[in-house]
Structure 1
Amino acid sequence: MFFRGSMSEVFNIVIVAQAGRLEYEALVFAASLRAKSPKFKGRLLVCEPQPGPKWNSDPRMGSEVREALESMGAEILPFANEHFGQDYPNGNKIECLKVVPTDRPFVFFDTDTLVLDDIRKVPFDFDRPAASMRRESTWPQIELYGPGYHATWESLYRQFGLEMDSALDKTWPEEFWRRYPYFNAGFFYHRDAAAFGARYLEIALGIRDNRPAELVCQEIWPWLDQIALPLVLHSFGGGFGALEDGWLDGRTTCHYRVLPLLYARESEAVISVIEEVTAPNKIKKILKNYEPIKRMVYQGRGKKVRALFDQNDLPRKEQGIRNRIKKEGFWMR
């Protein structure tokens, strides 16, 4: 067990990057890791899908971004898509784990994440995996006469031979969505990437190909990775309470999702970090090729987005923030 303020054991960080938005986000992530956690001793592993029948075009990153990532110490790990790809790129975070070395624990992050502080301070227990609690009630969507939250989630736990009772957060009442184990897949971690990835794949494919009757009216796209994740965490003894709130998606990292949302709702400290790490000319000349960073960060559109909102009185739902930004013509991703 690691106590507050102690350093976690050495671990690797895993992200997925490919041509387009993710390669530029990966570059910003790497720059923030280097700037804010310079004593991080693990490896930054950038998993890259390779061309194949699951892709309509070449998903590999451009040479300029690749070279910049490697100059920051990142290692590029190619992997092949056997089950997901163009139709469900979220599946990359599942399939990439098969190529991640198992000599150390791993922490996976979505590329649209900023490192804000020393990542080594986070008290990871790699034998009790966790994921992001920064989520909304996006799944399941309960129909008037259909199964409720309990029956829907219980059908999945039953399908994979897991008991659900100990996975619940019983501080919330029956049939309230927060009682049931649902996470944002923007980060997750475990001791063994191969074992975690294999189980994640097994459960995701099981839901995709053989969903229980209780899910017949539920849309599983694009939520499949987040539907499967709670089952994976629970199967390894993790889930609610495995990581104290406030470390990730808090004071140590920020999963900003898209740049307009970052400027609309995140703290001034987060904005300072993204503007700091994207400022050096060596990285700036590459990031200018990506319109959202060019316009939001370098040309000041982000400040205009921020001026639309009172950060102490934001719309309760993310969709309300999105709608206001779109109405003003500032939405980009």
Structure 2
Amino acid sequence: MSHALPFNIMIVGQAGRLQYEALIFAASLRTFSPDFRGKLLVAEPQPGPKWPRDPRMSGDIKDALTALGAEIRPFQSVYFGHSYPYGNKIEGLQILPAEQPFVFFDTDTLITGDLTRVPFDFDRPAASMNRGPTWPVEELYWPGYTAIWKSLYDGFGLDFESSLDLAQPDEYWERYLYFNAGWFFGNDPAAFGKLFTEYAVAIRDDPPPELVIQPLDPWLDQVALPLVIHALGGGRPDAGLRGLDGAVTCHYRALPLLYARGRDTQITALEEVTAPNKIKKLLKQYEPMKRMIYQGRGHKVRAMFDRAALPRHEKALRNKIKAAGFWMR
């Protein structure tokens, strides 16, 4: 039985790699979630002072996305743009219909199951837990996790204590609300986008003193996101959402990583949705996809690794692929 509440999906599409990933996303959504009845909206940044080059997608890709049922909606970059392209997911939320439930996905995501069966509680926003201890960064003179996160909650008038996972020890990174921004959802993209923009711009332009030695590029979206979700009454995703980053979606991030560590079902899904000639002709324009998917390089990468005994750290995966000369993105 499909999930009763309809919702919209947003991804970002722009010139370069993302437009080809958007095509794979749209094709996989149509193939593996045929009962999806909401809108797939592709947020496309427009030329302007924040973009030294035209960020718009090519016409043939737009036509293919439209043929797959996607709607392309333009938006203007006011606060971010070329200097922080991750800001597209923040400012792009304005293209979504207000007061309609939404799910955002990073464009480098493959749909492998029925999204309509995922029991989203849109009144309780959440985001991906497929993350590690990437921020804040432990530095010699840093004040510690509690001081850094508390300074942010206090700065926006939020209750810090209620965001903590008290099953985790003090000063251990998992005690603090922290997400991967690869997917997130809520019941009103206008309210979500307004807070996300407000918090991210404030953290970038006027960070609390506790953040003085902390890097915010590329982590700014993941620093602001927990604050937004907490402010809107959300928190960590419950067990019902395990299909995301599981059997229903795969945030692959780079094709060599997908081939190295992906499940057989995920590789099969990728190759199924990229096989039709109309899609193949377009994806072959992009060299990494041409080589990885269509010329067999992906399977050479796959043969290098035992999925049952992968390196603990992604960096080791990347280094081994790079050493073999197979890294592409």
Q: Scaled by the length of structure 1, what TM-score is found?
A: 0.97
Q: Aligned to 2:189, which of 193, 217, 231?
A: 193
- By how many angstroms is 1:308 displaced? 1.2
- By how many angstroms is 1:245 displaced? 4.8
Is 1:70 aligned to residue 66 of structure 2?
yes
Query: Which residue type is aligned with residue 190 of structure 2?
Result: A
Cα separation, 2, equivalents of 1:186 and 1:274: 18
- By how many angstroms is 1:17 displaced? 0.4
After superposition, give the CA deviation of every residue in 1:267-295 in whole Å (9 maximum; x if it has no partner): 00100000000000011000100111110
- By how many angstroms is 1:239 displaced? 1.5
After superposition, give the CA deviation of every residue in 1:7-36 in whole Å (9 maximum; x if it has no partner): 141000000100000000000000000000
Given that 1:124 and 1:243 are in contact with CA atoms closer than 8 Å, whether structure 2 keeps it comes out as no
Tell me the SS of whatever aligns to 1:331. coil
- By how many angstroms is 1:6 displaced? 5.8
Query: Which residue type is aligned with residue 87 of structure 1?
Result: S
Is 1:84 aligned to residue 72 of structure 2?
no
Cα separation, 2, equivalents of 1:160 and 1:314: 41
Is 1:144 aligned to residue 140 of structure 2?
yes
User: Taking every aligned residue pair, what percent have the same amino acid on both sides?
Assistant: 61
Cα separation, 1, equivalents of 2:19 and 2:209: 39
After superposition, give the CA deviation of every residue in 1:100-158 in whole Å (9 maximum; x if it has no partner): 11252110001100111110001100011111111111111112332111111111111
- By how many angstroms is 1:99 displaced? 2.1
Equivalent residue, structure 2, for 1:50: 46
1:58-207 alignment to 2 at 5 Å?
A: 58-207=54-203
Tell me the SS of whatever aligns to 1:247. coil
Is 1:306 aligned to residue 302 of structure 2?
yes
Alignment: residue pair count: 329
Cα separation, 1, equivalents of 2:118 and 2:25: 17
Cα separation, 2, equivalents of 1:199 and 1:185: 15
Query: Which residue type is aligned with residue 272 of structure 1?
Result: T
Query: Which residue type is aligned with residue 296 of structure 1?
Result: M
Change (3 A) 1:71 1:245: closer
- By how many angstroms is 1:266 displaced? 1.1
Equivalent residue, structure 2, for 1:269: 265
Query: Which residue type is aligned with residue 41 of structure 1?
Result: R
Cα separation, 1, equivalents of 2:225 and 2:128: 11
Q: Aligned to 1:214, which of 210, 214, 227?
A: 210
Change (3 A) 1:242 1:161: farther
Change (3 A) 1:67 1:52: same
Equivalent residue, structure 2, for 1:285: 281
Change (3 A) 1:96 1:176: same
- By how many angstroms is 1:98 displaced? 1.4
Query: Which residue type is aligned with residue 114 of structure 1?
Result: L
Given that 1:204 and 1:224 are in contact with CA atoms closer than 8 Å, whether structure 2 keeps it comes out as yes
Tell me the SS of whatever aligns to 1:51. coil
After superposition, give the CA deviation of every residue in 1:53-100 in whole Å (9 maximum; x if it has no partner): 000111000000000000111101000000000110000000011121
Given that 2:127 and 2:237 are in contact with CA atoms closer than 8 Å, whether structure 1 keeps it comes out as no
Cα separation, 2, equivalents of 1:27 and 1:92: 18
Given that 1:6 and 1:123 are in contact with CA atoms closer than 8 Å, whether structure 2 keeps it comes out as no
The list of structure 1 runs, each at least 4 consecutive aligned residues, that deviate by more than 3 angstroms after superposition, is: 241-245
Q: Any stretches of 5+ residues in structure 1 without a counterpart? A: none
Is the deviation greater in 196-205 or in 138-147?
138-147
Given that 1:102 and 1:194 are in contact with CA atoms closer than 8 Å, whether structure 2 keeps it comes out as yes
Cα separation, 1, equivalents of 2:88 and 2:249: 21
Cα separation, 1, equivalents of 2:250 and 2:142: 36
Given that 1:17 and 1:111 are in contact with CA atoms closer than 8 Å, whether structure 2 keeps it comes out as yes
Equivalent residue, structure 2, for 1:14: 10
Given that 2:105 and 2:182 are in contact with CA atoms closer than 8 Å, whether structure 1 keeps it comes out as yes
Given that 1:140 and 1:149 are in contact with CA atoms closer than 8 Å, whether structure 2 keeps it comes out as yes
